Structure 1
């Protein structure tokens, strides 16, 4: 029987994992390598740690990304700086008394199966604190260490960058602010969310910014109709129902038409050439910067000379001072034993992106290794609720053979669609994944029943945004405040905007 649970990492995933353990009567011990919780932790460029630029803003709104039973304060802006987000995490930790379960300045060195694992499902966890090594046995493990801490720097894909180019180059992980780029000619490689943000910010001080993209992307704004947050307007059960009624080809064309209503991506050199639905970023300023010439969109780089970049269309840009690699991240779990680590190499090698299928006992789960069309934070919390209920024995998993077969089936489907090599870029449907995991936990809302028993609430649940607190309306972990939180969600979205009486 599971009692003690080791949690690796005390970020947003680790915090909700601690809380979910406590809700199930488990005994969590969370290991965090940082000195303390939150304090400027995202600014520090320490190897193996998450590091973001100072101006970063969330891409999901507060109503869509909050923990399911702890809404953001109503006066918080809809999209937040990382400092405000860390403040929210501290409020959450204090409210549920989570910090006492965290051992700071402690690094997890190894997580290994016990010799009698097939019987007990236990793990030996070796940690290091201040040079002192300790070993302890836990009944279960939750891996919450994230996957945005190891920069992917593909220098081999850009001939000449190491051997000929005499300027500077860095990864976006190292970028903090634009001060060092004043008056320089800068080339940003990659047009993901970070690449778009950094190109826009640097363009305010640089002599010229070039934004290189291999395949293009769709650019959307955070602001939707009537000024409401985009995700609140689009992430609804009603929209999901419409998508289910019409063929995917038709829905795909409608989406692409919608993306082009803001500006014509072909005219701006951004229209995706391959896998058009896979490429999407949130940026409110990039089109304006391109329109003004502060940012110039270029194709993929073919090679570098001493001071120039040669692009695949044969054009060349001279006097490049700095190259910024916005080329994403890799991840690994070096503390896991090899057999387990291999099973955790991708979200598609995990059962429902959480459990390694080959384990004899389902006592290890990976949280947050997902890419969703909505809030990853909300998805991770639901994963934690599921994992702890499995540990508790409330929601047993199918036999290991069935898990392996299902994972293999999904991987084969990716191969048949030619997407196996792009699996890291594929975002799963937020609503589809949330409902899938909620069904495993037994907390998916019954909308039809709600229309019979509580029509007012049902209307908001179906036509309104699918906020995380919908998964607190029923079942284990039901929260008494969920109904009122859903009925007042539009008020909280408008509250920080109405700062002047009209």
Structure 2
């Protein structure tokens, strides 16, 4: 089967790799001269209009939660990698698994038809041609053209106006200026913080406040702390609001959101979380101030909160439209909403799939890879899709659930619960770990899983294309987390700045072990779920029985 992959970013290269694992004849078209997608920083915006990270970008998710399932990052790499380190990791992955030779660089896709016909242009020679593929995986990402709100009076404003796509760093043009940054997502806060290093004053102008979390909490990466596997298991038995309250408590323990003027009025999980390590200090020293949405431009400034502020520049960090860099009749929509089965497949033409057209409150690489493995199995004929009618019903149910929970914006039409989404695909593929079995057959591995976040390596323990190194990667997680923090060699410091986290995790893991035993004694997980008071009563009774085996003198 011939498969085309469009795009060689972090999603596209794992799609090529998954196709190679299934023995498919795959080729990837990439309009740039190298792979890396958004992570390939360039001082100038590419002629294609594709965005890149900014010069100062550092990943806001930890390396262990931002890696491929069979390619752990270097143990000495920092917990939060710079854009160039992330790019190096992505390219190393492509080289290691033989993906790079399958990529045709400087080849731009001009059109995609639903039957798999692709029109391609060789950007070096200018030659255009068409080819037909049995399957197509579109991995260009969901960032279409910049989205800029229509603010009255823009034609009057004498200052500089730009979109964050074209912002690279705080150069001398912004020195001692007053700048308005419109938006309140990750890019907006990154730009505002960076501008504050040279600008006289920065205003964050927004119509809706988001919850903001620092990238780490008590010297532990925030994603490692919040997405602890045992903790998530325990919260799965409780109302959703309990987990939301937990995240809010962590956020407010890090910063007093109300005092900083950043207290949102919606469920913390119903909108994309913002991760920024420095915004609190900028708000406290006044170099960044929060204002309401821009109401209109004037000749010398912008009106916000019914007050005109004289400003020199405006940066719109207002996101992108959900779109493709080429026309196609393969993608079905309902306005901004993409009608895709499993957030990938148009029910009417499942020979084409759109990978990476999702968003979440976590790093998405895990989801990208699982999407790629899923579609490679479909294209190889080893996984059968439901009927078109069944897929359309699933799409309708998914969209209704999304509308009822997430805030109603175009970006949030792409939002998923990443962990639940990945687990669903993993179960279908047969790569979801059998935790109950591991409890009895490999308790050391089970304990490591429960005291760790939801690591991607666990999806290589069993099933198709399992990896012999998965177990060691999981067991070595804590060591890799500590390794880059070790600087002293005299033996007096072992780098365990994360000790508090691991102690807490052991307690949570103990509860998970106890919970499993309760479920077993109760007959099934289902019966335990339907008798919650009895369940927790038994947990309490068994706590003392299990504690000694974990080294706690209760």
What's the TM-score, normalizing by structure 1?
0.92
1:296 to 278, 286, 289: 289
Q: 1:421 to 1:19 in 2, by over 3 A?
A: same
Shift of 1:48: 3.3
Shift of 1:147: 2.1
1:63-85 superposed Cα distances (whole Å, 9 cap, x missing partner): 11111001111111111111111
CA distance in 2, matches of 1:425, 1:416: 11
3-state SS, counterpart of residue 486 of structure 2? coil
Aligned pairs (5 A) from 1:19-418: 19-38=17-36, 41-43=40-42, 44-46=44-46, 47-114=48-115, 123-129=116-122, 130-148=125-143, 150-154=145-149, 156=150, 158-161=151-154, 163-179=155-171, 180-225=173-218, 227-277=219-269, 278-311=271-304, 313-318=305-310, 320-333=311-324, 335-338=326-329, 340-343=330-333, 349-359=339-349, 362-416=350-404
CA distance in 2, matches of 1:398, 1:341: 19
Kept in 1, the 8 Å contact 2:244–2:267? The answer is: no
3-state SS, counterpart of residue 341 of structure 1? coil
CA distance in 1, matches of 2:479, 2:145: 39
Kept in 2, the 8 Å contact 1:220–1:284? The answer is: yes
Shift of 1:279: 4.6
Q: 1:459 to 1:146 in 2, by over 3 A?
A: same
Shift of 1:331: 2.9
Kept in 2, the 8 Å contact 1:347–1:354? The answer is: no
3-state SS, counterpart of residue 413 of structure 1? helix
Shift of 1:423: 5.6
CA distance in 1, matches of 2:240, 2:35: 44
Q: 1:337 to 1:194 in 2, by over 3 A?
A: closer
Q: 1:255 to 1:330 in 2, by over 3 A?
A: same
CA distance in 2, matches of 1:84, 1:8: 24
Q: Which stretch of the first structure deviates more once superposed, 42-51 or 207-216?
A: 42-51
1:88-127 superposed Cα distances (whole Å, 9 cap, x missing partner): 112111111211111111111122244xxxxxxxx22211
Kept in 2, the 8 Å contact 1:215–1:274? The answer is: no
1:246-276 superposed Cα distances (whole Å, 9 cap, x missing partner): 2223333333233211222122121113454
Question: Which blocks of at least 5 consecutive residues in structure 1 are unaligned?
Answer: 115-122
1:10 to 8, 16, 30: 8
Kept in 1, the 8 Å contact 2:347–2:388? The answer is: yes
1:27-75 superposed Cα distances (whole Å, 9 cap, x missing partner): 1110011123359943240233132210011111111111100111111
Shift of 1:135: 1.5
3-state SS, counterpart of residue 261 of structure 1? helix
CA distance in 2, matches of 1:228, 1:250: 22
Q: 1:249 to 1:274 in 2, by over 3 A?
A: closer
1:352-372 superposed Cα distances (whole Å, 9 cap, x missing partner): 11111222xx22111111112
CA distance in 1, matches of 2:291, 2:407: 25
Shift of 1:239: 2.0
Kept in 1, the 8 Å contact 2:143–2:322? The answer is: yes
The count of aligned residue pairs is 483
Q: Which stretch of the first structure deviates more once superposed, 104-113 or 443-452?
A: 104-113
RMSD: 2.0
3-state SS, counterpart of residue 37 of structure 1? coil
Q: 1:235 to 1:15 in 2, by over 3 A?
A: same
1:444-497 superposed Cα distances (whole Å, 9 cap, x missing partner): 111111101100101122231111111000000100000000000111111111
Q: 1:482 to 1:347 in 2, by over 3 A?
A: farther
Q: 1:426 to 1:91 in 2, by over 3 A?
A: closer
Kept in 2, the 8 Å contact 1:24–1:389? The answer is: yes
Q: What residue number does 1:119 align with? A: none
Answer 1 or 2: higher relative contact order, Cα 8 Å, separation at least 6.
Answer: 1
Q: 1:480 to 1:418 in 2, by over 3 A?
A: closer
3-state SS, counterpart of residue 248 of structure 2? helix
Q: What residue number does 1:492 align with? A: 480
Q: What residue number does 1:118 align with? A: none
CA distance in 2, matches of 1:345, 1:467: 35
Q: 1:175 to 1:110 in 2, by over 3 A?
A: same
CA distance in 1, matches of 2:286, 2:398: 44
What's the TM-score, normalizing by structure 2?
0.83
Q: 1:344 to 1:364 in 2, by over 3 A?
A: farther
3-state SS, counterpart of residue 412 of structure 1? helix
CA distance in 2, matches of 1:55, 1:280: 20
CA distance in 1, matches of 2:157, 2:216: 40
Question: Which blocks of at least 5 consecutive residues in structure 2 are unaligned?
Answer: 494-554
Larger Rg: 2
